[in-house]
C-alpha cells in the first residue's frame, strides 16, 4: 500500500440487525446508503460495508442473506463516488462486492474462514486487510489464551501473510490488523496497542479497529464499577485513534467519523511538527 500523508479513516456501515454498537441502525438499505454518504461528509476516506455481525457469540448469516445486505449498498455508494470496502469472510461475497465497486476487501478471518478468499482478492487486484483471528464468534472467547500476545499475534499474522502471498496477492496489497477484541481480553488489546511497533516490523501497513469495543468501556467504568456503555466510548475511541496514528497506523476503522477525522489530523500535525 502506498504511504499516506496521514492515517486514513475508515467509517463503518454495518448492514446488520445485531452488530455490537450499531446493530439495526443501518439495516435498511436506504438508511445504510444515507449513512455511508454522511460518513464521507464527516471525513471518512473509506466506507466499510459489512453484512455479518462478528460480535462475540454471534451466529453466522447465510451467504444469500449476506449478499442481499451488502451488494446493493456497495453499488449505490460506488455510484456516488464513495471508496468502499467490504467487510466479509466469504470469498463469494468479496467477489460480488468487488464487481459492485468495492475497492478493498476487509477479512476479519485473514483468509482462515474461507480458503478461496486470497485467490479472489489476488484476481481482483484490490488491497486486502488480513486480520488476526482464531475462530468464529461463537467460540472465540475460549481461544483468548496467550503466553505473550504480541509475539503470538505477530507470528500468526506472519503465517497468514505467507499463505496469502502464496495465493498470489502481491506484497504491496496487504494490510495487517491485530484484531482487537477477537479472541482477545482487554489486557491483550492494550498489549497489542502498546506493541504496535513490533507488529509494524512485519513490514506491512496496519489497520486498527478499537472503535466502541468493550475494552474501552472496561477501562472507564462508572462510580459503581459498571463498564461504560459503548454509546459513551467515542471520546476514548478518538484518543486511541490519535495515539495509533501517531504510532504509524495506516488506517483506523471507526463508527463515529467526525472526532476521529480530527484526531488523525492532530496526529499528522504533531508528527510533522507543523500544520501543513
What does the binding site for ligand PMM look like in residue numbers (CB under 6 A)?
A: 12, 14, 19-21, 54-55, 87, 106, 108, 129, 131, 177, 179-180, 207, 209, 212, 253
Q: Reply yes or no on whether 184 is catalytic.
A: no
CB of 276 to ligand PMM, least distance (A): 31
Q: Which of 253, 256, 272, 276 is catalytic?
A: 253
Residue (146 or 230) nearer to ligand PMM, CB? 230
CB of 49 to ligand PMM, least distance (A): 11
Q: Reply yes or no on whether 253 is catalytic.
A: yes
Taking CB atoms, the residue at the shortest distance from ligand PMM is 209
12, 56, 85, 140 from 257: Cα distances, Å: 9, 24, 16, 28
Q: Which of 90, 154, 184, 213 is catalytic?
A: 213
CB of 104 to ligand PMM, least distance (A): 10
Catalytic residue positions, numbered: 213, 253
Amino acid at each position: 500500500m502506498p504511504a499516506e500523508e496521514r492515517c486514513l479513516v475508515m467509517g463503518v456501515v454495518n448492514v446488520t440487525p445485531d452488530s455490537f454498537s450499531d446493530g439495526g441502525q443501518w439495516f435498511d438499505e436506504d438508511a445504510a446508503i444515507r449513512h455511508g454518504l454522511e460518513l464521507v461528509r464527516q471525513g471518512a476516506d473509506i466506507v466499510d460495508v459489512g453484512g455479518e455481525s462478528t460480535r462475540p457469540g454471534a451466529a453466522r448469516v447465510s451467504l444469500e442473506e449476506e449478499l442481499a445486505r451488502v451488494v446493493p449498498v456497495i453499488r449505490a455508494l460506488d455510484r456516488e463516488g464513495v471508496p468502499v470496502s467490504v467487510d466479509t469472510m466469504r470469498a463469494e461475497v468479496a467477489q460480488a462486492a468487488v464487481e459492485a465497486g468495492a475497492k478493498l476487501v476487509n477479512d476479519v478471518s485473514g483468509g482462515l474462514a474461507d480458503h478461496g478468499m486470497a485467490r479472489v482478492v489476488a484476481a481482483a487486484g484490490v488491497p486486502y486487510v488480513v486480520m488476526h483471528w482464531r475462530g468464529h464468534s461463537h467460540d472465540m472467547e475460549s481461544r483468548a489464551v496467550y503466553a505473550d500476545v504480541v509475539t503470538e499475534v505477530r507470528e500468526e499474522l506472519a503465517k497468514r501473510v505467507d499463505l496469502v502471498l502464496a495465493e498470489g496477492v502481491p506484497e504491496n496489497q496487504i494490510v495487517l490488523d491485530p484484531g482487537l477484541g477477537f479472541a482477545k481480553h482487554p489486557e491483550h488489546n492494550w498489549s497489542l496497542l502498546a506493541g504496535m511497533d513490533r507488529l509494524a516490523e512485519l513490514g506491512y501497513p496496519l489497520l486498527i479497529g478499537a472503535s466502541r469495543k468493550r475494552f474501552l468501556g472496561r477501562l472507564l467504568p462508572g462510580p459503581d464499577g459498571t463498564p461504560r456503555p459503548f454509546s459513551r466510548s467515542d471520546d476514548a475511541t478518538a484518543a486511541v485513534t490519535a495515539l495509533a496514528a501517531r504510532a504509524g497506523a495506516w488506517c483506523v476503522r471507526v463508527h463515529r467519523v467526525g472526532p476521529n477525522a480530527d484526531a488523525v489530523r492532530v496526529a499528522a500535525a504533531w508528527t510533522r511538527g507543523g500544520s501543513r
